[in-house]
Chain A
Amino acid sequence: MKKILTLAVLTTALTACKKDQYYLYNDIARLQFGPPVGQLYYSPADMADTLKPYTFYYEPAAVLQDTVFFDIYAIGGTSGQDRAYTLEQVMLEGEENAVAGVHYKAFDDASLKNAYVIKAGEVHAFAPVIVLRDASLKNKSVKLQLQVKANDQFQPGEIRKLWRRVELADQLSQPAAWNSTATTYYWGKYSQVKHSFMVEQTGEKWDQDFLTEINADYALLSFWRLKLRTLLTDYNNAHPGAPLTDESGETVVFP
């Protein structure tokens, strides 16, 4: 009898169960990276701009440094005062890591004292990464992984949104918009030879901005795909027996 009653009571008690509320991160001020402001409430864009390739390739020789920006957000509300935040480099195992003072300006560099601040009354800022044009970038690319570091103003926010990465080079590098879809349907496998051919033959940069612009217009995308295919065919016709070949020895093709 006791077993039956116990079972009945427990079963009835189950109806009292309810789903726990989400943690709102509104206990203290926290900091994390995020997508551009316009995509903040568009969940598929949550991890947009996590990785930003940058190359000095297109810049005049006189340009020795540039700035890469990442969107960063304070959560937990605004403040009436400016709030400084801290970033730090994370070393990537087995990768060519960027070196502070050589490939980028250290986050605690005196000249950047006021650069890493969430302004009073705001929750968004552009976190600058000052990249430097070191001669070594002509021959190799380096990676700078940065992450939010706790300080007296902010604790870290969501774990998966605490980091960003810059891939830095002074040679052609694969733009982020030349992604797997673009590889399959439009431009094919990336190579520096192919990329250089595209730049030289069309006079366009074929960088992140250009690819982002044409990615938004299927007709324009189709136009460039056809244009490149025609240019490559004409090149190969003009070089019988010596088709355009990339740095790994493969014949360059467009889908």
Chain B
Amino acid sequence: MKRTYQSLAACCMLLLNACYKDHGNYEYDLAEQITVTGINSDYDKVSLVDRITLDPQVSSSDPQAEFSCWWGIYETNVQGSAPKVDTIGRTKALDYLVTQPAKGWVLVFGAKNLHTGVSKIVTARVNVITQFTRGWYVMKHSGGQTDVDLFLTPSGIAPGSDKMENVFSLVNGRKLDGSARLFGYYTNYKSDVTGMMANTKGLFILSDKDVSVVNLNTFKEIRGFSSLFYETPAVKRPGSISEGSSANYLVNDGHLHSIYSMSANVGMFGGVQLRDDNNSPYRLSDYFLTYYSGNPFFFDETSCSFVSATGTGSVLSSVTDAAGSEMPANHNNKALLFMGVRATNPYTGIALFRDKTDAGLKILSTITPENYVLKLVNDTLDAAEKLYQAQRYGLIVADESILYFSVGNEIWSRNLANGAEQLQFTVPAGETVTFIRHRKYAGSATLELPYYFNYMLIGTESGGQYKVRAFRKSSGNLNANPDFVLEGEGSVGDVIYIAPSINNYTYLNSY
């Protein structure tokens, strides 16, 4: 028995180490509820002009609540450094002149109950803008030179009376050589315009003889042709700008250059990617098929073959045929007349070919990529079909399976599912159709509701003046009259609508 007591005593000595003071919280009252009202979710403010003036209502379930308040602001879409909150107020009411550069910011309001120590944080998005960050941009050319007009949209998607003509040359003191071709807008383009290498709203302006990328906040050129490449190409003939599979791609003189966007870079394109291990000659068509997270596809006019690419590779990626494909992806003896993306899910493109041997043979193909395998389903055109005679093309992206095209001064649609063609619009006599493009900006932000749109844009030229008609569509058919018409001097190559919340995912890249 004595041994048992002694053993228990020894065990107790050991177990004493396990004792600790209980610091548990046994308060079962309901958690305090602090409510803040009077702060919207989004604000658009012009830097150095607008103020943020707010006086939110703060209440608490604690009847003895007494609040200490503060305001802060921090930068969004930062890469390579942690955003820092700048305190801009220490009272409940805020009256603050916005001085931040144009980009996305987050406004933070904090209210702390001094009685209980409980805090409530409320945030709001602040889009700091300039006169350049919202409006319709029209790329046009006249006299062999390209410039850009800006139509301001102060209260809704239809332009107001204010227009800034030739904004590129106005800011940069020169025009681009050549004819207007294509815009590319990338909010993840890297530049040091803010003093450090960071994401920049970069708008690419491509003519057929020059290229420039401008900082959208100021429209100042970030890089021109001579500074856009690590090794400036000998020939200036930009063909396309696009984004796909974590890279930006620029085709110049039929050769592919890339920037891998998932690593640090300075916004410069690399050398010419090789066609193969033998550095065989190649020439890529200006038309391409890509979207931001899909593999890009180009058409090599030299070998009549599709190719793909990565942002990190040295050699273009080969493409193979899917089972059931009705036309080989390689050496198919075709000339590419048009190609563009139709949808991203499933990833689908449309291409129009002409046979190189039988010039009378034209084929409309639906392309379905799966990694580097292409399935082409063909629709051979009859010479009597309107698409057979088409000159300009514009796909409806994502909405309907319809290809728009022009024949003379007529705008036609072709239902890609059944081949039905329908006259949609006849431009007035004397006008020449110069471009067709579908653009769509959609979302649910309350402040942006007046700006969302879904338009087929038809550009024409007559007597050195352009008109861009913005048509709404219903089930793929154009309304009888456009919502508005953009007019100016020159001939239009491309049109894009820019707003603070538009980014590189808003529009798919395509001709």
Residues of A within 8 A of B (CB): 1, 4-5, 7-8, 11-12, 15, 217-220, 222-223, 225-227, 229-230, 233-234, 237
In this complex, what residue of B is CB-closest to A232? B279
Interface string of B96-140 (1 = CB under 8 A from A): 000000000000000000000000000000000000000000000
Contact status of A226 and B14, CB under 8 A, knowing A219-B259, A219-B264, A233-B277: no
Question: Nearest Cβ distance between residue B102 and chain A, in whole angstroms?
Answer: 26
Contact B274 A233, beta carbon cutoff 8 Å? yes
Residues of B within 8 A of A (CB): 3, 6-7, 10, 13-14, 17, 230-231, 259-260, 263-266, 268, 270-274, 277-279, 312, 314-315
Residues of B within 8 A of A5 (CB): 6, 10
Contact A219 B265, beta carbon cutoff 8 Å? yes
Question: Nearest Cβ distance between residue B254 and chain A, in whole angstroms?
Answer: 16
B10, B263, B274, B312: which contacts A230 (Cβ < 8 A)? B274
A53–B495 Cα gap in the complex (Å)? 57
In this complex, what residue of B is CB-closest to A7? B10
B3, B231, B277: which contacts A223 (Cβ < 8 A)? B231
A217, A222, A227, A229: which contacts B266 (Cβ < 8 A)? A217
B10, B259, B278, B314: which contacts A237 (Cβ < 8 A)? B278
Contact B279 A8, beta carbon cutoff 8 Å? no
Residues of B within 8 A of A233 (CB): 274, 277-279
Contact A218 B274, beta carbon cutoff 8 Å? no
Contact status of A237 and B279, CB under 8 A, knowing A219-B263, A219-B265, A229-B314: yes
A229–B272 Cα gap in the complex (Å)? 11
Contact status of A4 and B10, CB under 8 A, knowing A217-B264, A233-B274: yes
Question: Nearest Cβ distance between residue A144 and chain B, in whole angstroms?
Answer: 37
Question: Nearest Cβ distance between residue A171 and chain B, in whole angstroms?
Answer: 29
A227–B6 Cα gap in the complex (Å)? 84
Contact B271 A226, beta carbon cutoff 8 Å? yes
In this complex, what residue of A is CB-closest to B277? A233
Residues of A within 8 A of B270 (CB): 219, 222-223, 226
A8–B11 Cα gap in the complex (Å)? 8
Residues of A within 8 A of B274 (CB): 226, 229-230, 233
Contact status of A223 and B13, CB under 8 A, knowing A4-B6, A217-B266, A230-B279: no
Contact A1 B6, beta carbon cutoff 8 Å? yes
Contact B3 A225, beta carbon cutoff 8 Å? no
List 26 contacting pairs A-B, 8 Å CB cutoff, sorted by A.
A4-B6, A4-B7, A7-B10, A8-B14, A12-B14, A12-B17, A217-B264, A218-B260, A218-B263, A218-B264, A218-B265, A219-B230, A219-B259, A219-B268, A219-B270, A222-B270, A223-B271, A226-B274, A226-B314, A227-B231, A227-B271, A229-B274, A229-B314, A229-B315, A230-B314, A237-B278
Contact B230 A223, beta carbon cutoff 8 Å? yes
Residues of B within 8 A of A11 (CB): 14
Known: A217-B265, A222-B260, A230-B314. 10 other contacts (CB 8 A): A1-B6, A8-B13, A218-B263, A219-B263, A219-B264, A226-B314, A229-B314, A230-B271, A230-B272, A230-B274
In this complex, what residue of A is CB-closest to B7? A4
Residues of A within 8 A of B17 (CB): 12, 15
Residues of B within 8 A of A225 (CB): 314
Question: Nearest Cβ distance between residue A143 and chain B, in whole angstroms?
Answer: 36
Contact B266 A219, beta carbon cutoff 8 Å? yes
In this complex, what residue of B is CB-closest to A6? B10
In this complex, what residue of A is CB-closest to B262? A218
A154–B10 Cα gap in the complex (Å)? 55
In this complex, what residue of B is CB-closest to A220? B230
Question: Nearest Cβ distance between residue B323 and chain A, in whole angstroms?
Answer: 33
Residues of B within 8 A of A234 (CB): 279
Residues of A within 8 A of B3 (CB): 1
Residues of B within 8 A of A8 (CB): 10, 13-14
Question: Nearest Cβ distance between residue B359 and chain A, in whole angstroms?
Answer: 34
A4–B277 Cα gap in the complex (Å)? 80
Residues of A within 8 A of B13 (CB): 8, 12
In this complex, what residue of A is CB-closest to B9? A8
A7–B7 Cα gap in the complex (Å)? 11
Residues of A within 8 A of B271 (CB): 223, 226-227, 230
A229–B6 Cα gap in the complex (Å)? 83
Residues of A within 8 A of B14 (CB): 8, 11-12
A234–B281 Cα gap in the complex (Å)? 11
A143–B25 Cα gap in the complex (Å)? 69
Residues of B within 8 A of A229 (CB): 274, 314-315
A220–B231 Cα gap in the complex (Å)? 11
Residues of B within 8 A of A237 (CB): 278-279
Residues of B within 8 A of A219 (CB): 230, 259-260, 263-266, 268, 270
In this complex, what residue of B is CB-closest to A216? B264
Residues of B within 8 A of A7 (CB): 10
Question: Nearest Cβ distance between residue A228 and chain B, in whole angstroms?
Answer: 9
Question: Nearest Cβ distance between residue A70 and chain B, in whole angstroms?
Answer: 30
A234–B277 Cα gap in the complex (Å)? 10
Residues of A within 8 A of B263 (CB): 218-219
A188–B358 Cα gap in the complex (Å)? 48
A234–B278 Cα gap in the complex (Å)? 8
Q: Which 6 A-B pairs have the closest CB atoms?
A: A8-B10, A219-B265, A233-B279, A223-B230, A218-B263, A223-B270
A227–B272 Cα gap in the complex (Å)? 8
A1–B271 Cα gap in the complex (Å)? 85
Question: Nearest Cβ distance between residue A2 and chain B, in whole angstroms?
Answer: 10
Question: Nearest Cβ distance between residue B401 and chain A, in whole angstroms?
Answer: 38
A3–B272 Cα gap in the complex (Å)? 83
Question: Nearest Cβ distance between residue B108 and chain A, in whole angstroms?
Answer: 33
A11–B274 Cα gap in the complex (Å)? 72
Residues of B within 8 A of A12 (CB): 13-14, 17
